[in-house]
Structure 1
């Protein structure tokens, strides 16, 4: 008997652990462990928990067609989940447990624990690199060191792709059943989470629907990605990130489909190449997280980032979370996040810059809030994005590059179409005034159910520059 431990790899296709477990004739059982206390400490969004639950229900049906039962158990945290897997493997007589690696600190420690527990029971442990295009540590500089800057990392990845077969793994064949497998099937209970979940009916959760979403985007939309991706009112992004985050899709599947649909996928400045670059950004942040355990402990990548003296005004943080800052593009973005669990990528940069550079609030506050809301929350990508915006991460934007939220709105939502969708109070404001509606209200004696700006951008910009400059000039200690 082989046991496959599903984590953030909730797919039956292109799953290296599942395929390895299925190579021999042994019966295969899948297991997933809900860890509500661990999820709460990691700020898992109820929206993402809802998608995980829906995906598990669909995956159970997909695997059952191959005579592979999927058991869903519960443990408080990662430590208990390791014990639960080892005990279950022993109980069903499994000779080996198969899983795909996760690279964050807590996850790595959990896997060390389960490996030891299984060894004590005489059960083998096999773990596979399956999460990225390139496993952390495989793309190195000419000096044999991990990259700390994205552009050379990307170039190295593109070189490595030359001649590389990225064809997804084949679907495991249908298994022979037996009394033990039939018994496990008969004992399966409906998937139930103790952790809060939210409705995800707007998102496909079945294999067929997810794959069709990917195919349609790569076939019909990706060509326009470079030209349109920064405009939130335009449906130009793939919105595949939730599936990558929970492993319902693999990046190899995305790349293979991109290559099949777009012959110019390697040509610079094409939509396909730009979208591939985003997949490589995902690998880059996974690499940085895996190579620097301090990041999992909430430290800035740059040591001087720990010397930034944040204002951390709770009332301003609440205004930011609620979308009541008086800056329309920021507020519309936060309403999109709060209502849907998703936010356009350009807007993620705008609201993160605003929180850290205009409101002078610690990037970690924003990082945690995003994780608590995002259906596509992924630790490495979310952390990397926030550290980039706060100018304290690897290859981050310079601290003196501070987005003006008004001009960002004017540039990327010039007619206010996105703003009006999420801020109904501004529907009657003319286009030329939509980014500074308080001025229109004053000029034409109108009453708006919308706040004035909570800060003055020019004033806060000067303050931010001084604070960040002072932090850089502080003597630095080595990050733990």
Structure 2
């Protein structure tokens, strides 16, 4: 008999509940399986860089599993429906007793898993499903009326209350499997269907699991103590940059929160301010996943607040293209967009500034920006990306009213005081004074070859306020 463990968005051997369950004893051999569904990933909006990193993570997982004596069967399946057919072939070729996997919360993935469960019933294979993307599974944090929370702050209070200042320890890696336990049928199947994906090493982003553990430890040993002071400053190395590892499942949220909890004198709040603040960001991540399950329309490009579907977005393609290229004439916005193109990543404060600029200043549909970010980001994550964009667009789960509109110039002056971040990505402005870097004069723009502002802040703000007010009062 063979136990299957299906790797999806959890490319790690430590703290992997599905893997650990499949290797709970030595009574049956264990076979790992994963599907490279490149066409499906592109349909979902992932870009070249992220897809390459997924393939890189699969190759790294193969090496890690090899050390544990667990073969990894990699199947090129193109679309989810193809992976179901390929799984049928595997179940037919092997004497499989069970299929183990960690749950994905997106709606297409959930529909796929319903079909997979039916397939397993047909072959009399048991299915074991585990929550590994949240410490508290979606549906476990609810209001007194048993409704899902729609605003973050009460969700956080309830989440902390349920956790009771305790974080369960992450699982280790499973014990190695004896190499001679692998059946001839498994070996034949791997020889017939196995094909590791080709990938190119990315100089900025490592998919190595040990490297992720090292970065987590380094951040929590020192950098986190100033996190609350530095996390909003784009020129400072003040963030963990672990969102990439979380998005690919190279690290688990439990590994992150448990390690932070240990460093925080075994407290989830009320300890070191920097650690408290970082844990708070991880709870935001959980909140958006809970929303994704409670409100499946979020997976269908619908506004969380249905009354905002009628906002008269301008959707000017020329303006959108200038925003994408970082040519809006607002230095902090343009520098941020160029960081995105250069690194496949953007500082979180800048994600808010650029998203609010697109949706409020340019009055362009948040879905356009959400899709662009998802294509460019190495840490692309539907729940967090959708949640952040809808928060910025005032269409999402947020207690603040629609008239919160960031002034990009004052944001720049506050969080990049000396214009160092601007100078890095807009070197043509490097010779300007710190004050001028935030919003150069017409003469300075002409002299240094920097574009004119795409819109005037005050009039754009009034236009957005009018559009939202008329929609919501109609």
TM-score band, normalised by the shorter chain? over 0.9
1:185-234: CA deviation from partner (whole Å, max 9, x where unpaired): 666855225xxx76523222222111001111111111111111000000
> Does 1:156 pair with 2:158?
yes
- Contact 2:56 2:200 (8 Å CA) reproduced: no
- Contact 1:69 1:184 (8 Å CA) reproduced: no
CA shift in 2, pair 1:32/1:142, >3 Å? same
The 10-residue stretch of structure 1 (50-59 or 181-190) with the greater mean CA deviation from structure 2? 181-190
Q: Give the count of matched residue pairs.
A: 468
Q: What does residue 219 of structure 1 align with? A: 221
The 10-residue stretch of structure 1 (316-325 or 257-266) with the greater mean CA deviation from structure 2? 257-266
1:383 Cα offset (Å): 0.2
Q: What does residue 440 of structure 2 align with? A: 437
Structure-to-structure mapping, 1:259-298, within 5 angstroms: 259-263=261-265, 265-267=268-270, 270-298=273-301
Q: What does residue 245 of structure 1 align with? A: 247
> Does 1:408 pair with 2:411?
yes
- Contact 2:91 2:123 (8 Å CA) reproduced: no
Q: What does residue 306 of structure 2 align with? A: 303
> Does 1:192 pair with 2:197?
yes
- Contact 2:76 2:195 (8 Å CA) reproduced: no
Other structure's SS at 2:96 match: coil
Q: Hey, what's the Cα distance between the residues in 2 that align with 1:279 and 1:390?
A: 22
Q: What does residue 478 of structure 1 align with? A: none
The 10-residue stretch of structure 1 (113-122 or 284-293) with the greater mean CA deviation from structure 2? 113-122
Q: Which stretches of structure 1, 4 residues or longer, exceed 6 Å deviation after superposition? A: none
Alignment match of 2:344 (pick from 330, 341, 346): 341
Q: Hey, what's the Cα distance between the residues in 1 that align with 2:93 and 2:449?
A: 62
Q: Hey, what's the Cα distance between the residues in 2 that align with 1:357 and 1:397?
A: 15
Q: What does residue 109 of structure 1 align with? A: 111
CA shift in 2, pair 1:271/1:110, >3 Å? same
Alignment match of 2:128 (pick from 122, 126, 136): 126
The 10-residue stretch of structure 1 (255-264 or 125-134) with the greater mean CA deviation from structure 2? 255-264
Q: What does residue 207 of structure 1 align with? A: 209
Q: Hey, what's the Cα distance between the residues in 1 that align with 2:226 and 2:213?
A: 20
Other structure's SS at 1:447 match: helix
Give the structure-1-normalised TM-score.
0.94
1:431-458: CA deviation from partner (whole Å, max 9, x where unpaired): 121011234517xxx6122101011111
Q: What does residue 32 of structure 2 align with? A: 30
CA shift in 2, pair 1:185/1:35, >3 Å? closer
Give the structure-2-normalised TM-score.
0.95
Other structure's SS at 2:35 match: strand
Alignment match of 1:144 (pick from 143, 146, 157): 146
1:396 Cα offset (Å): 5.4
Other structure's SS at 1:453 match: coil
- Contact 2:166 2:268 (8 Å CA) reproduced: no
Alignment match of 2:48 (pick from 46, 49, 53): 46
- Contact 2:339 2:425 (8 Å CA) reproduced: yes
1:87 Cα offset (Å): 2.2
> Does 1:19 pair with 2:20?
yes
Other structure's SS at 1:125 match: strand
RMSD (CA atoms): 1.7
- Contact 2:56 2:201 (8 Å CA) reproduced: no
- Contact 1:79 1:113 (8 Å CA) reproduced: no
1:235 Cα offset (Å): 0.3
> Does 1:354 pair with 2:357?
yes
Other structure's SS at 1:95 match: strand
Q: What does residue 464 of structure 2 align with? A: 464
The 10-residue stretch of structure 1 (428-437 or 154-163) with the greater mean CA deviation from structure 2? 154-163
